[in-house]
Structure 1
């Protein structure tokens, strides 16, 4: 699962990079929802601006709600990253991973613990800078994070592993068949050569000068 998560993470970064380099198009990639205790976990929140030609002031708030608790503000961005709580379970364990254009406002939880399971809410508020007025647009994204002690075996990885073994067995059988075929072909060629040599030796000496040993292709 860890390998697949890394691949998915790299693929997401490549998609975002391509979108940033090629055009102003923003791609909203969903966040991973499963983390492993003791590892870092990126909570991905991408909120695309619908009108790129209009500048905006963006404010971000991250809330956390445990399975049996209430929402609590754990992180906010107001012109710069700002950890909201001086104390608390996430103090010193949150890292800002947002982009410069503020369309990616993701954070990373460092050293995830079992107690981090719960619902994370990403609130993005944009104040659009029009000449006459400044309308405000707000969007929210929810991430239900589940933390496990060990990485769970993913169904896709299991299927991929089974297909790999099937392919390996098929290639092995094909190689054995090719080896047997080549061996029989070489053996048959050697038998033909030996028979031709035996027939040649059986001809009387006086007739060998006028005899041509047939060669089979």
Structure 2
């Protein structure tokens, strides 16, 4: 069935933000397929049904795998039986978060996931029906790849540690030289003081010969 895709970038409610889903899952782990559609007019009551479709890598057609309709999540395809869990809005028909969680991800889960909100807005004079669809391109890997920001942070941490170590070495060298110079100056003063005392204690008759 064709889908009407409507771009909905505005956020109508404080606390509702349309954050994109992550796109890389690890085989054998769980993964959250994120899908959020904020209402444009929060003051207007409404309800929404959320459908999830899946298209395998290399395939041309989507298959219907999941539907949520007011506290009634339903898995619709055997390949996802017992593995999909609703993680969206609960307790209200006015759904804005339509995320689902995949348990025990396999490499066969790689592909395109289509999240569709079928929203009805109850306007004073009539009803307005809006369909909003969002795609998630999922890749399944054997091991998690470190995020670029995490790698950069780690590199910066090591750079900072190296800079601090160099700074500490510089401080130690400076302190050592200062203490050494003070010790040298103290020894010179001691030597000068000792020489002065020897001169004072010298016998004044030395060097005088009587005939």
Give runs of aligned pairs for residues 153-172 of structure 1, distance below 5 A.
Answer: 153-172=146-165
1:187 counterpart residue number: 180
- SS state at 2:145 partner: coil
Counterpart residue number, 1:52: 42
Matched ranges for 1:47-196 at <5 A: 47-69=37-59, 70-85=61-76, 88-100=78-90, 102-196=95-189
* Equivalent in the alignment of 1:31: 21
Aligned residues: 187
| Aligned-partner Cα distance in 2 for 1:120–1:151 | 20
Aligned partner of 1:215 in structure 2 is none
Cα pair 1:96 1:108 within 8 Å, conserved: yes
Query: What does residue 16 of structure 1 align with?
Result: none
Q: CA deviation at 1:55?
A: 0.5
2:182 maps to 1:199 = no
Between structure 1 and structure 2, the one with the greater Rg is 2
Corresponding residue for 2:8?
none
Q: How far, CA to CA, are the matches of 1:41 and 1:207 in structure 2?
A: 93
Report the CA distance between 1:205 and its aligned residue.
6.0
User: Within 5 A, what are the aligned runs for 1:12-31?
Assistant: 24=14, 26-31=16-21
Task: Render the CA deviation track for 1:83-114: whole Å, top value 9, x for unaligned.
Answer: 232x5121111111113452111111111111
**TM-score normalised by the chain length of structure 1:** 0.78
Q: Taking structure 2 as the reference length, what is the TM-score of the superposition?
A: 0.80
Q: What's the RMSD between the two structures over aligned residues?
A: 2.3
* Divergent runs of 4+, >6 A: none
> Which residue number corresponds to residue 43 of structure 1?
33
> Gaps (5+ residues) in structure 2?
1-10, 202-211
8 Å CA contact 2:75, 2:84 repeated in 1? no
Q: CA deviation at 1:167?
A: 2.2
- C-alpha distance in 1, partners of 2:143/2:48? 37
Mark the runs of 5 or more structure 1 residues left unpaired by the alignment.
1-18, 209-217
